[in-house]
Amino acid sequence: MAKEKQIFFCRECGFESAKWMGQCPGCRSWNTFCEEKVTVGARKQSGGRTAVVPTSILEVKTADETRFSTGLEELNRVLGGGIVNGSLVLVGGDPGIGKSTILLQMCRNLSADGHKILYVSGEESLSQIKMRAERIGTFQKNMLLLCVNNLEDVEEYVKKDRPKVIVIDSIQTIVVEDIASAPGSVSQVKEVTARLMQMAKQMDIAIFIVGHVTKEGTVAGPRNLEHMVDTVLYFEGDRNAGFRILRAVKNRFGSTNEIGVFEMLETGLSEVNNPSKVMLAGRPLQTSGSVVVCSLEGTRPILLEIQALVCQTSFNLPRRTTVGLDYNRVNLLLAVLEKRAGMVLSGSDAYVNIAGGMRLDDPAADLGIVFALVSSFRNRPLDESMVVFGEVGLSGEVRGVSAAEQRVREAVKMGFRTCIMPKTNAEHLKSIEGIKVVGVSNISQALEYI
């Protein structure tokens, strides 16, 4: 006989416990455990079940996945070339950053191509979606809206008339009647996602899910939600700023290093085809502490401006502040400058920033951070036509980075005439017209150009 039992789940990470705890052992969050009823039934007898026989990997035939365009080149890039039939895509991001807007723009483009689209909203009414759609553009008749909170209603319509793409906005508002839990609970999110995944695979329908995020920036609900879907996309950037970065965290059908750059306008999100030009717009000239580096996001080189401000501290302990860069990495480079370059920075505050609201994790930015810090400390402006990149080690050596030729060609395209890069990359670099390539093996050689 089936019976009910009480289980406690963590709302942040989905950790399961038989009793309530103040702090979650999984994510270390406080007061996040909620109580839910779980039905446990007897195991069904497997009478008449046929045995499963494994298949040799050499006998398995592969076929290229069928993709179709979203109408947005930046979104196609992040998805790996387009939408794959039968895929389940999770889109996360802060409130108001543009998750629903970009999916609504994608639906407009797909409906214009003749595809039948179903947009399911559990948060907004039909009139609210219509008002937002009128701001974006003109829609076709085959763009269908469904404002329900019950997953069974969606499944009934899909069985009658299969759409090409389904958008669920959002996963935390959809419920299943079989589970007696509140919308957005761990049990509801897991069950709804599992049934949506089954629908996508069996009916070959592409499904996009909008997910709310926690204060740490991860999708709310159980952590295995990200493991169940095929692709996880995150919107990055300040919602008060103009630019948005769409990054693929997980993608079974493409690369996870690609990013898409968008600009928020009154008519929705506009694609930024040349991020380097946009990020360098308004760059100050003949100013100390400013340097241009070339980062690689997936297969796309992007030129970014690193700004540093080093000044005498007024506190017992100097302040270290970073925006868009790893805080510990900047402290490490400050220590390298003190030990290997003989610069006394222990009595100075250091503020380092990436202009444009980008987040940079590429180790090739190390040399640019060093140049910006030394330029501000010595109050000496750098050559405005110079771009730098390279990884810096603890002994002060400048290590080689990947895709050096792509980075240099991007600098040439943007009009830069000098490139300071690792010597190991410069030795194997083909001759490129229009730019002077300087190879350095340690920071002492690099700082001679300041």
- Dist. CA 250–CA 125, nearest whole Å: 31
Looking at residue 303, what is its pLDDT?
94
Q: Virtual CA dihedral for 196, 200, 206, 212, nearest 10 degrees?
A: 20
94 is in an annotated binding site: yes
Residue type, 204: D
Residue 334, pLDDT > 60, answer yes
Record: fold of 277-449: Ribosomal Protein S5; domain 2 (3.30.230)
* pLDDT tens by residue, 52-89: 889 898 888 876 678 899 999 999 999 988 999 999 99
Residue 44, pLDDT > 80, answer no
394, 336 Cβ separation under 8 angstroms: yes
Collect all residues with Cβ–Cβ distance below 8 Å to 237 and sequence separation of at least 6: 97, 243, 244, 245, 357
Residue 14, pLDDT > 80, answer no
Looking at per-residue pLDDT, the higher value among 384 and 216 belongs to 384
* pLDDT tens by residue, 249-305: 899 988 887 888 898 888 888 998 888 888 888 888 889 999 999 998 877 899 999
98 is in an annotated binding site: yes
- Dist. CA 172–CA 185, nearest whole Å: 8
250 is in an annotated binding site: no
Residue 216, pLDDT > 80, answer no
- Dist. CA 429–CA 126, nearest whole Å: 58
Sequence ranges of the domains in the chain: 3-40, 67-273, 277-449
99 is in an annotated binding site: yes
- Strand positions, DSSP E, 222-316: 231-236, 243-251, 259-265, 268-271, 290-297, 300-312
Looking at residue 294, what is its pLDDT?
94
Fold matches, 67-273 and 277-449: no
Q: Which CATH architecture has domain 67-273?
A: 3-Layer(aba) Sandwich (3.40)
Looking at residue 268, what is its pLDDT?
86
* pLDDT tens by residue, 111-121: 999 999 999 99
95 is in an annotated binding site: yes
376 is in an annotated binding site: no
Stated length of the chain? 450
Looking at the DSSP bridge assignments, the partners of residue 255 are none
Q: What is the DSSP string of 125-189?
A: -HHHHHHHHHHH----TTEEEE--SBHHHHHHHHHHS--SEEEEE-GGG-B-TTS-S-TTSHHHH
- Dist. CA 426–CA 171, nearest whole Å: 50
